[in-house]
Chain A
Amino acid sequence: MTDFTIVLRSLRLRLFSTIVTALLVATSAGLLLSILALRNAGKAAFERGSGNAHLLVSADQSPLVAVLNGLFYANPPRAPLSRAKVTELRQSFPWDFVVETQLGDSYRGFPVLATTPEFFAKFEPTLGEPWSLASGKFFDENMQVVLGAAAARETGLRLGAKIVLTHGSGSSREGSADASAHEGHVHREYEFEVVGILDATGSAHDRALFVSLESSWILHAHDRREREGIEGKVTAADLLDDDRKITGLLLRLPTRSGSSVSGALQQVFDTLRRDTSITVAQPADQIDKLFAIVSNIDGIFVALAIATLASSAVAILLSMVNSMAERRRQIAILRVLGASRARVFGIVLTEAMLIGLAGAAAGILVSAVALHLATAWIRASLGLIISADFDPRASILVAAGAVLLAALAGLVPATLAYRTSVSKQLRPLG
């Protein structure tokens, strides 16, 4: 028999109230942990998509817009980069890779990225995780298309399917009789065959379709030639320099083996930034800036969750104070048996802390299970890999916070216990 046994017996006597109060703490602790985990996971998910490119060059208005457009397919860039500028940039530094990209077409609302085979060979959508195919192959000829995992799942396209692309961000579908109903011009003359479906990367790339740059140039050269009154299908031989437009460059500098950081990056970045005809962005940097902007809203959510946790401490206080009417007799008995005021104070305070601890433990468990289920659902339905893993440090901090708040809440009933009059409670002794 110890003081702790008395605490447990007392909690068991008020089992319903104890469970309800602990569940309140569990809900708020779980909510706080989930918000913290999802906040970090959201940033991590964005960071995943930035891949292994050190720099992104485009003609967008700002570096952040360049990253949102170039890597997260927010919008097609408003202006292309000239061929001469691309050649100049290619020769400006000893790059590890330079991957040309062009955005502007779409298929049923999914963005189409035109690029070179190097995109699959050298660019990694997530650092250290190169592209892999769920089925088929990467494109090796014009008029072939590779589907991102989410795009494949949502369009239902299979290998061998034939599709036509739309100019702009509208939608088109194979065999659609009323293409004019859709936004943008449909490139009906050129069908693309699905030759590969990518494994999920957990990034925005999963929602994209990938074709060769030359295929895209041919589509747009065809449009130009139509405007000029020239009939017939276009081949690569018909392309002019002006047709060979791109909207972005993914650049990576050489690094030491085993490292993804280049010592020359800052110097190269500063040099390129002097060129006002282009926008240069460090993707990781821009994501940090983006999250710095949204962190205020984020902070409001965290503050709300902390407020909820604090309100659960108030629930502990109310529950324990309400129970004091029936507890006072027990406390008076303990006092008559020889328990000091300080000891009954400690017993009641321990009860409050135990409710806080039990609630926090349940909250951690609920949060871990809920996050596991939520991330699995997000991955299955949205194709986003959210690594909202169990964070031991955050869990310990939240548990410690819950116990501390419970202890603060327990001060009131503990003080009432401390001041309990034995004589009043144990009449006729009193």
Chain B
Amino acid sequence: MPPAASAPNPPCALSIQALSFEYPARTGTPSFHLGIDAFELSRASECLLVGRSGGGKSTFLQLVAGLLEPQHGSIHIDGIDLFAPSTNRDLLRGAKLGFVFQTFNLLAGFSALENLLVALMFSAIPKAEWMDRSTELLAKLGIESGHARVEELSVGQQQRVAIARALVCKPALVLADEPTASLDPENARVAIALLREHCLAEGAALLVVSHDPSLVPLFARVEQLALLAREQVTR
């Protein structure tokens, strides 16, 4: 009996190889260099990236989001080279990445449902599925009043809308930037639990970036950016 062909490994949600990025020195500001040899995060997995303030966490996130371009190295999102000339980074960001911010950054003046629909506008998901997917996800996250404007929602509800928006486009990777910084410890735990639960359910990898040490016990994989990166500040 011939051996069964092994199924190809699914691509990593995030794969970083030999990344090197540098902010040039400017008057009054030292140059900053961030180098990462390798970092991988597979789908439906999670990682907490911790580091001190000013340690390059945000630079790292901007690189992963395709908002900054490294001098060397590569970043692949769901197997797609983010910085390949053929890659449309805006489209890739809309289709493959979800974002959760400390202050939620929901679109004011829009309803909860519309916040999700706006995200879907920039995704690859067919328009016919937008409404069902949005209402279903909002319902899963306990938002019944999808037509209420986000300003009218409680902080907890706004956070859940933000999580729903991050997941609505079926991203490969959800980037959470200090998602608990404005919450008390109890609500922080609830928010992280919610985020982890729904990312797992949607099959998305979760990369949480935080300087909050209280989150460390909640994650199986914790990376110290200082150890991960070859960070240098030159004065």
Q: Does B108 contact A (CB under 8 A)?
A: yes
| Residue contact A330 to B95, C-beta cutoff 8 Å | no
Say how far B118's CB is from chain A's closest CB, in angstroms.
6
Q: Which residues of B contact A13 (CB under 8 A)?
A: 108-109
Chain A residues lying within 8 Å of B99, measured Cβ to Cβ, are 336-337, 429
Let me know if A429 and B94 touch, CB within 8 A: no
Interface size on A, residues (CB 8 A): 29
CA A332 to CA B103, docked complex, whole Å: 13
Which residue of the partner chain, among B58, B106, B108, contacts A423 with CB atoms under 8 Å?
A: B58
A3–B121 alpha-carbon span in the complex (Å)? 8
In the bound complex, residues from chain A placing their C-beta under 8 Å from that of B118 are 1, 6, 334, 337
B151 to chain A, nearest CB (A): 10
- Tell me, rounded to whole Å, the shortest Cβ–Cβ distance linking B117 to chain A: 4
**Is A12 engaged at the interface, CB distance under 8 Å to the other chain?**
yes
Contact A330 B107 (CB under 8 A): yes
Chain A residue nearest to B165 (CB atoms) is A337
On whether the beta carbons of B109 and A336 are closer than 8 Å, the reply is no
B94-A337 in contact (CB<8A): yes
Chain B hits for A2, CB < 8 A: 121
Measured CB to CB, the closest approach of chain B to A1, in angstroms, equals 4
Given known A-B contacts A336-B65, A428-B177, A12 and B122 have beta carbons under 8 A apart:
no
B105-120: CB near A (< 8 Å → 1, else 0) gives 1111110001001111
B108 touches A330 (CB 8 A): yes
Q: Does more than half of chain B's interface fall in helix, strand or loop, or is it mixed?
A: mixed
Judging by beta carbons under 8 Å apart, are A429 and B108 in contact?
no
Report how far A428 CA is from B120 CA in the complex, Å: 24
> What A residues does B95 contact at CB under 8 A?
338
Q: Shortest beta-carbon distance, B150 to chain A, in Å?
A: 12
> Could you tell me which residues of chain A, from 413 to 430, have a CB within 8 Å of some CB in chain B?
422-423, 426-430
Find chain A residues with CB under 8 A from B110 CB: 9
Q: Is the CB of B62 within 8 A of A429?
A: yes
Do B121 and A1 touch (CB < 8 A)? yes
Q: Which residue of B lies closest to A425 (CB)?
A: B105
The answer, yes or no, to whether A297 is at the interface (CB within 8 Å) is no
| Interface contact A340-B105, CB-CB below 8 Å | no
Using Cβ atoms and an 8 Å threshold, which residues of chain A touch B93? Answer: 336-338
B130 within 8 Å of A by Cβ?
Answer: yes
**Chain A 327-368, CB within 8 Å of chain B: the 1/0 string?**
001101111111111010000000000000000000000000
- A-B contacts, 13 of them at CB < 8 A, read A1-B114, A3-B121, A9-B107, A13-B109, A330-B107, A336-B93, A337-B119, A338-B91, A338-B122, A339-B90, A340-B88, A422-B67, A430-B62
Task: Give me the interface of A with B, judged by CB distance under 8 Å.
Answer: 1-3, 5-6, 9-10, 12-13, 329-330, 332-341, 343, 422-423, 426-430
Closest 4 pairs between A and B when the two form their complex, measured CB to CB:
A338-B94, A338-B122, A1-B117, A340-B90
Q: Known pairs A337-B99, A338-B91; list 16 more (Cβ under 8 Å).
A: A1-B120, A1-B130, A5-B114, A9-B107, A12-B109, A333-B107, A336-B65, A336-B105, A337-B122, A338-B90, A338-B122, A338-B169, A339-B94, A339-B121, A426-B105, A429-B58
